[in-house]
Amino acid sequence: MSRTIAERADVLPLLAEVFRAHGYEGASLARICVGTGLGKGSIYHFFPGGKEEMAAAVLDEISLWFHEQVYAPLRDGEGDDVQHGLDQMFRVVGRYFQSGRKICLLGVFALGGERDRFAVAIKHYFVEWMKALAAALERGGRDAATAAALAQQVVGGIQGALVLSRACDKPALFTHSLQRLRDDLRDAAGA
């Protein structure tokens, strides 16, 4: 049975879950309708450009969320606020990925056949995260090269921990990895 949704923004989290579960290619219109509870007419009312427009809108929404919740707190803190920004990053990332139970849609798209179609959005997500984290580490006293290397290591570690926890069906692997990465960065930020 179809449901009534008043705004396009209400559909985006539901679409994100369909793309997470099935990837871009596997997200057929039938699966999208089931996952959103909307009929074809409603789907095309909100997204006349079809599946590509849906995926682009979801990626934009994720990018906005990460900008507000992760990148801005890392970049905007000053001096003593460095640790606050780092703690915020780990806290919200842990919640966002539901302690390892929810996969990274940008990671799914980066590995799939849709990578080239959404290359700009995918690259932006990872590059901006690393740049924001490196900026926080530099404010904490690390030189630019070390800060950039640490940022790459941490973002890669978070993404790898997501894959590992999902592959092993052990969300605790993700939460333990986050804690280790947090501890490592706390040491690095204070060094």
pLDDT per residue as tens digits for the range 92-120: 999 999 877 888 889 888 888 888 899 99
User: What single DSSP character describes residue 79?
Assistant: G
| Residues whose CB falls within 8 Å of the CB of residue 49, separated by 6 or more in sequence, listed in order | none
What share of the chain in percent tops pLDDT 90? 71
Selected residue with higher pLDDT from 144 and 1 = 144
pLDDT digit string (tens) for 123-169? 999 999 999 999 999 988 899 999 999 999 999 999 999 999 989 99
Nearest by Cα to 21 from 33, 35, 8: 35
Q: How far apart are CA 144 and CA 79, in angstroms?
A: 16
Q: What pLDDT, on the 0 to 100 scale, is given for residue 101?
A: 82
| Contact yes or no for 46/14 (Cβ under 8 A) | no
User: What mean pLDDT, rounded, does the chain reach?
Assistant: 90
With 0-12 CB in 10 A as exposed, 13-18 as middle and 19+ as buried, what is 49?
Answer: exposed
> What pLDDT does residue 128 have?
97
85-93: average pLDDT: 93
Q: Give the per-residue pLDDT at 4.
A: 57
Q: Is the pLDDT of residue 191 over 80?
A: no
| Residue 36 reports pLDDT greater than 90 | yes
Gap between the Cα atoms of 155 and 165, Å rounded: 15
The length of the chain in residues reads 191
- Who's near 30: CB < 8 A, 6+ residues apart? none
| Angstrom distance (rounded) from CA 134 to CA 144 | 7
Q: What's the confidence (pLDDT) of residue 151?
A: 96
Residues 134, 151 contacting (CB under 8 angstroms): yes
pLDDT at position 3? 55
pLDDT of residue 7: 87
Q: Tell me the average pLDDT across 11-25.
A: 93
161 sits in which H/E element? helix 144-168
Of the candidates 39, 44, 41, 66, the one whose C-alpha atom is nearest the C-alpha of residue 54 is: 44
Question: How many Å apart are CA 36 and CA 21, to the nearest integer?
Answer: 13
